[in-house]
Chain A
Amino acid sequence: MNLFTEYLGLSLKNPFIPGASPLGHDVHTIRHLEDCGAAAIVLPSLFEEQIALEKQAREFHVEAHTEGFAEATTHLPTVDDFDKSSDEYLRLIEDAKQAVDIPVIASLNGITPGGWIDHARLLQQAGADALELNYYDLPSDPDETGYDVELRALEMVRAVRGEVEIPLAVKLSPFFSSLRNFAKQLVAEGANGLVLFNRFYQPDIDIEELDVRPTLELSTPSELRLRLRWLAILSSRLETSFAATGGVHWAADAVRAIMAGATVVQMVSCLLRFGPEHLKGVIAEFTTWLETHEYESVSQLRGAMNLRNSPDPTGFERSNYLRILQGWRV
């Protein structure tokens, strides 16, 4: 079975990629994932805030205590640099590149164009084969319009594109008023692919301590439906790579996502839940499904059910909603 896939211009042996998650923190796990068939790996995200705050750390925590007392004009040795999270991240890229043959995709998570963006170049220099830019935004400014939010994202993509030559994917949330238009503009700014969709942390409340506890529940296959719809809509008109992420747990989920137009599927929750070996089973099952259904390659499958090719295009649009509601009544 020909599972060959081209994603962001990268040649992949199959369409299965472990997405950004804690699994990517450890090189041993990355190697294990490769052994289990992963076609590429997306490393965990490096956050804009981490980069920005660490740039100021020396000033706030070191410089602020200097030159105030005669016996100790400084309290720490003078060093050119310190081990920032971003440095650790660069090491992770280098180590991962050393450890595996599959492409290594770095992930940057940010929401504003700013000084941190030059870090993208460092990720490229460290050996990242591609960059996934996670536009993880929860707009809460009452004076900022939806248009402003989109402009900010576009500006950021333009800036990152200006820093790197490697392929660039943009990971989005579904919460844009005109996603199709926005996606088109992102590609026009230089995005080589779109990753649909990121999942927001869901803060929980500690009722004893009156505190907020950041949590992230693992996804369920039911979350895939939202992705399927937008993959079908966007892939029908936009020539770019698409990754489905969020809800791909089993081979059938992958079949659905690729049918809807996904170039690749990213898997996280099921790997966290069942371990890297789960991937091996999914790929095997996926291959069997293709064989059983007499597909020759995965490219045959891709987009077979998108908005353009679907036997019932309205299914992804409004009328389907109506039908489902009526179905419940039945």
Chain B
Amino acid sequence: MSATSESPTASRTFEHPATLDANEAVASVAYRMSETMAIYPITPSSAMAESCDEWAAKGKPNLWGTTPNIIEMQSEAGVAGAVHGMLQAGSLATTFTASQGLLLMIPNLYKIAGELLPFCFHVTARALATHALSIFGDQSDVMACRATGLAMLASNSAQEAADLACIAHASTLDARVPFMHFFDGFRTSHEISKIELLEDSVLRAMVSEEAIRDFRARSLSPDHPAIRGTAQNPDVFFQAREACNPFYNRVPAVVQGHMDGFAAITGRQYNLFDYAGHPEATRVIVAMGSGAETCEETAAWLNARGEKAGVVKVRLYRPFSLPAFIKALPLTVRSIAVLDRTKEPGAVGEPLYMDIIAALVEARTSGLSHFECEPLVIGGRYGLGSKEFDPAMAKAVFDELLRERPKNHFTVGIVDDVSGTSLDVDAGFGIESEDVVRAVFYGLGSDGTVGANKNSIKIIGEETKNFAQGYFVYDSKKAGAVTISHLRFGPRPIAAHYLIKQANFVACHHPQFLERYDVLGSAVPGGVFLLNTPHGAEDIWRHLPHEAQERIAVKQLKFYVIDAGAVARAAGAGGRINTIMQTCFFAISGVLPREEAIAEIKKAIKKTYGRKGEQVVQQNYAAVDAALAGLHPVAVPAGPFDGHAMPPVVADTAPDFVKRVTALMLEGKGDLLPVSAFTPDGTWPLGTAKWEKRNIADRLPVWDTTLCIQCNKCVFVCPHAAIRAKYYPAEALASAPEGFQSTKFRGSTDHQQYTIQVAPEDCTGCTLCVTVCPAKDKTNASHKALNMAVIPERTRERKQYEFFLALPNPDRKAMKAEVKSSQFAEPLFEYSGACAGCGETPYLKLLTQLYGDRLVIANATGCSSIYGGNLPTTPYSTDCHGRGPAWSNSLFEDNAEYGLGMRFAIDKQAGIARHLLAGLAPRLGDSLVQELMGEPQRNEEGIATQRERVTELRTRLASLDLAEARRLEALADFLVRKSVWIVGGDGWAYDIGYGGLDHVLSTGLDVNELVLDTEVYSNTGGQMSKSTPFGATAKFAMAGKTRPKKDLGLMAMTYGNVYVARAAFGAKDSQTVKVFEEAESFPGASLIVAYSHCIAHGYAMHMGLEQQRLAVESGTWPLYRFDPRRAAEGKAPMQLDSAPPKVRVKDYQRNELRFRMKPEAAPAFEEAAQQQVDARVALYNKLATIGAPQAPASGYTK
């Protein structure tokens, strides 16, 4: 038994300390031990590939003195194929991935293993999409690969991840079996801690040069040719497959040998199975990943109180070494709980549990078993999708093992009131050490809180002997996002891989969080509370909600306030409060003696800003001093707690589900929801975003009725549907609330009024509406029909908006396909979590306005699926008839096919309905049937009329006692046209989903593919796609992209029967509407490539419309429509909708940082970009003059 009482990383001397997360630690090892890499972004692994790309761009050498060659592929399937080739050709290759990406690699993983190619790659273990997508951590993905033949090695912390990465790279060379090294997504991949860096000398000592020579000698080469990848027949396949067995049998010994060798160099000993706990433990948990550390901590706590508990940490999961596992277990063990961080529905048990059961049985039958009694084994699931797994939960498992008949196939960490699987957990249980400072910070994404906290960790971790750990919980929204930082500091390495529930220090960087969250719930009695507020120490108390007052007083918190905004402004730091709040933390948290702490901060400032000059350093020093001067203790009264009550999370008028489920999630208490709160198939109600009032805008647009020309452009460009227009009968104003603004509707022949109304609690303050507003005051041109203004109290505005929503909507039947008219249609996409000023969402909003009541959307994974479908609230909503977009996200790579499937199914069901209709015509009435069959449904009028006919049809069907009538009732809605849109970003359309997108276009089926083109993988953080323009810098293109942007539209045109268009709403909104309308009416496949400005472009988003204009006017983004219908009329299908370029490409590009990140290359890029644009414009001009081949005989008749 390799019993240890503490983790291999505990209490070692750190000669080369660094504070980093596992992603960076592993990337550092993989980079130095590899020659070639194929990469592709996927959360949470992307950072590893990004680091490698960054190092390669800077020319950092690997162990052998050369810079690894790195190539981004179009998908993880492409990555797997590429690394397979690299390996086959004799190069030390690696890659990084997770989740769906890993699944896409599986076919090649079988091949790589089958060919015994030495290969090590790294996986941030992440949930697989099932009933929903989850970007968070569990081991569903790696468990799906356990049959591939890969060796699987698990790490539990950043230090272990670095160490075992090295061991895995070394082992694969000797064993020839490929290795998957994995660690928990987010909890390990993103947790920052102080670790010992692995020097080159360590890595070099671990690698066998001889093994590398042997590997190269086996490689595929015409100089010593061989053939691999044969097709084998029943006579030999089986035997040949068994020939690899000796290599698998050797793996455990090879790995243990390298672990021992590693220990000899570093002092950190690992084993295939590491036991930690009481040497005579009777209760043992077997686990893999970061949760095992929590079990170890908990066992130690129990053992210190006289109990006998232990944990077996599984490191080498495949090949599973039976002797090593049995050896790791104490002889005294009586009961074992096996924890799986995955779910395998329908199996006898989860995979690790099944392995342990089989191992114990086999040990017994083979005589390896040496236990005092045969242990009882139970299995359970924990931590799916990064569900917390903390000591209270580990203790619940240990407690369960004490029971005479412990629950098998349990869950822990949730309340399962449906199947009764869950264990009871004592929520108050905690084992945090007294000498560890635990701090929780509530910040906003844009305020620099997380960055400052990372900096604090660096200061303490690297500049003092103390240890530090940081984990950051982010919001699901991209605008106005809340971040919660969990920081621990202590004298020993920190192994607590779970959120802080007992904080010595709580900081609230924005006072409004006190109105929304139980910020002080985690504060320990006597702890410190720091609040950033404009109110002074004497005044603050009466401004607090009574819930916060009570928490502060009852817990006797030491309460401090600072007006960080004012201090920052006075110090010339703009709105960034990070340094101010960081200083306050150092001053009052007790993490270091105050003077030492301040000195360390100033040292860090010097280090960070020294290069920028002494003046900047002094400016930051001044900010530190000002922060200390502005920090004031608050005298806490004993009572009464007469502050205002926290406002309700959602309005009383919200639906039951929203109040019961969504509201808890909004409060940050979603963990408390039991299984019964959810549907079993992932179905979720529409229109929940409207109940989440986020109030994130400091300033709101204010409408001036006297200036407004009623163009509705403001409504068109709003990314969040937070400014709306209606016209309505004047009499509807009878009950208007105070201040409700209205003016006579222009163009109305009858008595109609018009209103532009802002949704005061949903507006993000992006100012696009003000930017686009063309109406200026004739006597003061700086004043427009819309102007931003500070409106602190919004009760009046809220009532006005409620009244506005209740006003009758303009009749859809009157809607025309033009900008103004379309914006009177109710948006069925509202208040999404997209970034303020998002360049994608106006297209989606328009889509729902035009066709929302008959719209089916297949949405590729990416930004649009996240702001479109990420809980707790979602933006797609319904109209007053209960109709609205039917939206679904399947995967990233399959979206076009997914949408095609929907079209196929819809068409078939419509066909069946028509068939039934024809059959029932004599009974239903021929004229109704003929009308139902013949209605072209080309416009709103036609759709509305058809709906009326379907209603009539249902009435007539109800009176028919026929099976066909019942069948037709179920399908009658399909007699109304359904509009199928396939939506996604450029990562999907140009790269991973291109094959599908292309295929769908080729089918001629009546679908519309809408590409929201931000020219990078925006959702995963701005990695290069094939849409990224020449010269732009992006992640994976650190040196600037040296190849031109793929012309997706041009490629699609080659079919000749596909409608293709390029749009940019900020440049020409009328063309955008026309494009949507033509695509929808085109009786075949359509492709719209829509320019979408994005924060990944590196400029202020309120300039997004201006940049769109410049993109078009420079010829970078020519607007066009390629309509095959025109060919039948003898016209050129291609029509250019933008004028010849009138500004230089440079004048567009230089406004965006992405084009300016390579100073030395910028001029050459600019010149070449201009040439490319000139050539492209010339080509388009030519295309616009030539007729296309005649259209196929079928089609174009609709």
Write the residues of chain A forming the contact surface with B, with a CB cutoff of 8 angstroms: 55-79, 81-85, 87-88, 91, 115, 118, 209-212
Cα-based distance from A13 to B895 in the complex (angstroms) = 71
Contact flag A74-B472 (CB < 8 Å), given A69-B481, A118-B613, A210-B781: no
Quick one: given A76-B1098, A82-B1153, A83-B1156, are A68 and B445 in contact (CB under 8 Å)? Answer: yes
Cross-interface CB contact of A77 among B50, B481, B866, B1150, cutoff 8 Å: B50
The smallest beta-carbon distance between B516 and chain A, in angstroms, is 17
B75 contacts the other chain (CB 8 A): no
Known: A77-B1033, A87-B1159. A69 touches B445 (CB 8 A): yes
CB-CB < 8 A to B1155: which residues of A?
83
Q: Out of A55, A61, A84, name the residue touching B1098 (CB < 8 Å).
A: A61
A115 touches B483 (CB 8 A): no
Task: Tell me which residues across on chain A come within 8 A of B873, comparing CB atoms.
Answer: none
Shortest Cβ distance from B1154 into A: residue: A76
Decide if A60 touches B1100 in the complex (CB within 8 Å): yes
29 pairs of residues in contact across A and B, judged by CB atoms under 8 Å:
A59-B576, A60-B1100, A61-B1099, A65-B835, A66-B450, A67-B451, A67-B472, A68-B444, A68-B478, A68-B483, A69-B475, A70-B43, A70-B136, A70-B190, A71-B135, A71-B1020, A72-B1019, A74-B1021, A75-B1018, A75-B1021, A77-B1022, A77-B1035, A79-B1033, A82-B1156, A83-B1156, A87-B1159, A115-B613, A115-B615, A115-B616
- In the docked arrangement, what's the CA distance between A61 and B446, Å? 10
Establish whether residues A57 and B475, one from each chain, have CB atoms under 8 Å apart when the complex forms: no
Residues of B within 8 A of A88 (CB): 1162-1163
Complex CA–CA separation, A10 to B1034 (angstroms):
45
In the bound complex, how far is the Cα of B982 from the Cα of A48, in angstroms? 48
Roughly how many angstroms separate A212 CA and B780 CA in the complex, as a whole number?
12
Provide the bound-state CA to CA distance between A85 and B1150, in Å: 9
Contact string against A for B residues 468-487, beta-carbon threshold 8 Å, 1 for contact and 0 otherwise? 00001011011001010000
> Contact mask B1004-1048 → A, CB, 8 Å, 1/0?
000000000000001111100000000001110110000000000
A59 proximity list for chain B (CB < 8 A): 574, 576
18 further A-B contacts with Cβ under 8 Å, apart from A64-B446, A65-B1095, A83-B1157, are: A55-B612, A58-B1153, A60-B574, A63-B451, A65-B445, A66-B445, A68-B444, A70-B136, A72-B1019, A72-B1020, A72-B1022, A75-B1096, A76-B1022, A79-B1038, A82-B1153, A82-B1159, A83-B1156, A85-B1150
B1187 within 8 A of A: no
Does B186 sit at the interface, judged by CB under 8 A? yes
Check: B1158 CB closer than 8 A to any chain A CB.
yes
Instruction: Give the distance in Å from the alpha carbon of A79 to the alpha carbon of B1094 in the complex.
Output: 19
In the complex, residue of chain A having the shortest beta-carbon distance to the beta carbon of B1033: A77
Ordered nearest first, which 5 A-B pairs have the shortest CB separation? Answer: A68-B445, A72-B1021, A67-B450, A83-B1156, A210-B781
Cα distance A164–B216 in the bound complex, in angstroms: 59
Chain B, Cβ-Cβ closest to A56: B574
Which residues in A have their C-beta under 8 angstroms from that of B474? 67-70, 73
- Tell me whether B866 and A71 are in contact (CB under 8 A): yes
Docked CA distance A209–B782 (Å): 11
How far apart are the CA atoms of A85 and B1022 in the complex, in Å? 24
> Which chain A residue has the least Cβ–Cβ distance from B1022?
A75
What's the Cα separation between A87 and B909 when bound, in Å? 63
Instruction: Please give the residue numbers on chain B whose beta carbons come within 8 Å of chain A beta carbons, in ascending order.
Output: 43-44, 47, 50, 53-54, 135-136, 186, 190, 444-446, 448-451, 472, 474-475, 477-478, 481, 483, 574, 576, 612-613, 615-616, 776, 778, 781, 835, 866, 1018-1022, 1033-1035, 1037-1038, 1094-1096, 1098-1100, 1150, 1153-1159, 1162-1163
Q: Which residues of B contact A64 (CB under 8 A)?
A: 446
B445→A67 contact, CB < 8 A: yes
Residues of A within 8 A of B47 (CB): 73
Q: State whether A78 touches B54 (Cβ < 8 A).
A: yes
- Bound together, the chains give a CA A77 to CA B190 distance in angstroms of 18
CA gap between A288 and B1162 in the complex, in Å: 46
Of A56, A60, A209, A212, most buried by chain B (CB within 10 Å of CB) is A60
Looking at the complex, which one of A55, A61, A71 makes contact with B1021 (CB distance below 8 Å)?
Answer: A71
Q: Is the CB of A210 within 8 A of B450?
A: no
Contact A77 B1157 (CB under 8 A): yes
- Which residues of the other chain, B, contact A78 by a CB distance below 8 angstroms? 54
Who on chain B is nearest to A88 by CB?
B1162
A residues less than 8 Å from B1154 (CB atoms): 76
B475 to A211, Cβ gap below 8 A? no
Q: Specify which chain A residues have a CB less than 8 angstroms from the CB of B43 in the assembled complex.
A: 70-71
Number of A-B contacts (CB under 8 A): 135
Contacts of A63 in B (CB 8 A): 448, 451, 576
Q: Which residues of B contact A79 (CB under 8 A)?
A: 1033, 1038, 1157-1158
Contacts of A210 in B (CB 8 A): 776, 778, 781
What A residues does B866 contact at CB under 8 A? 71
Q: How distant is A210 from chain B, measured CB to nearest CB, in Å?
A: 4
Closest Cβ of chain B to A46, distance in Å, is: 14
Most buried by B among A55, A64, A211: A64
Q: Which of A66, A71, A91, A209 contacts B451 (CB 8 A)?
A: A66
Q: How many angstroms from the CA of A61 to the CA of B1152 in the assembled complex?
A: 9
| Contacting residues, chain A, for B612 (C-beta < 8 A) | 55
Q: Are B451 and A72 in contact (CB under 8 A)?
A: no
Closest to A65 in B: B1095
Q: In the complex, A209 Cα to B616 Cα: how many Å?
A: 41
Within the complex, which residue of B136, B615, B1095, B1162 is in contact with A75, where a contact is CB–CB below 8 Å? B1095
Complex alpha-carbon distance, A280 and B945, angstroms? 79
By beta carbon, the residue of chain B nearest A59 is B576
Report the minimal beta-carbon distance from A320 to chain B, rounded to whole angstroms. 42
Asked if A74 contacts B1022 (CB within 8 A), the reply is yes
Question: Separation in Å of the A81 CB from the closest CB of chain B?
Answer: 6
Given contacts A69-B475, A77-B1035, contact A82 B1157 (CB under 8 A): yes
Assuming the contacts A67-B445, A68-B474, A69-B481, asked whether A84 and B1156 have C-beta atoms less than 8 A apart, the reply is yes
Chain A residues near B1022 (CB-CB < 8 A): 72, 74-77
Q: Is the CB of B135 within 8 A of A70?
A: yes
Tell whether, in the assembled complex, residue A71 and residue B1019 are in contact, meaning their CB atoms are under 8 Å apart: yes
CA distance A62 to B1022 in the complex (A): 12
Contact partner, A65, options B53, B446, B472, Cβ 8 Å:
B446
Query: Which of A66, A77, A81, A88 counts the most chain B CB atoms within 10 A?
Result: A77
Nearest-CB distance from A153 to chain B (Å)?
20
Q: Is the CB of A76 within 8 A of B1156?
A: no
How far apart sit A73 and B448, CA to CA, in the bound complex (Å)? Answer: 11
Q: How far is the CA of A84 from the CA of B43 in the complex (A)?
A: 32
> In the complex the two chains form, what is the Cα distance from A61 to B1099 in whole Å?
5
A234 to B478, CA, bound (A): 62
Residue pair B1098, A62 in contact (C-beta under 8 Å): yes
Q: How far is the CA of A62 from the CA of B1100 in the complex (A)?
A: 9
A72 touches B1018 (CB 8 A): yes
Which residues on the B side are within 8 Å of A84 (C-beta)? 1156, 1159
In the assembled complex, the CB of A115 is this many whole angstroms from the nearest CB of chain B, namely 5
Q: Which residue of A lies closest to B781 (CB)?
A: A210
Bound form: Cα–Cα A283–B1150 in Å: 38
Q: In the complex, which of the residues A79, A83, A211 has the most CB atoms of chain B within 10 Å of its own CB atom?
A: A83
* Shortest Cβ distance from A205 into B: residue: B781
Contacts of A118 on B, CB cut-off 8 Å?
A: 613, 615
Shortest distance from the beta carbon of A214 to any chain B beta carbon, whole Å: 15
CB distance from B1015 to the nearest CB of A (A): 12
B576 cross-chain contacts in A, Cβ below 8 A? 59, 63
CB distance from A87 to the nearest CB of B (A): 5
CB neighbours of B481 from chain A (8 A): 68-69
CA distance in complex: A88, B1094 (Å): 25
- Say yes or no: A68 contacts B475, CB within 8 Å: yes
Inter-subunit contact B54/A77 (CB<8 Å): yes
Residues on the B chain within 8 Å of A81, using CB: 1159
Contact residues in B for A87 (Cβ distance below 8 Å): 1159
Whether B1153 pairs with A62 at a CB distance below 8 angstroms is: yes
Distance (whole angstroms) from the CB of A159 to the closest CB of chain B: 11
With the chains together, A84 CA to B1155 CA distance in Å?
Answer: 10
CA distance in complex: A91, B1158 (Å)? 13
- Chain B CB within 10 Å, residue with most, of A75, A76, A91: A75
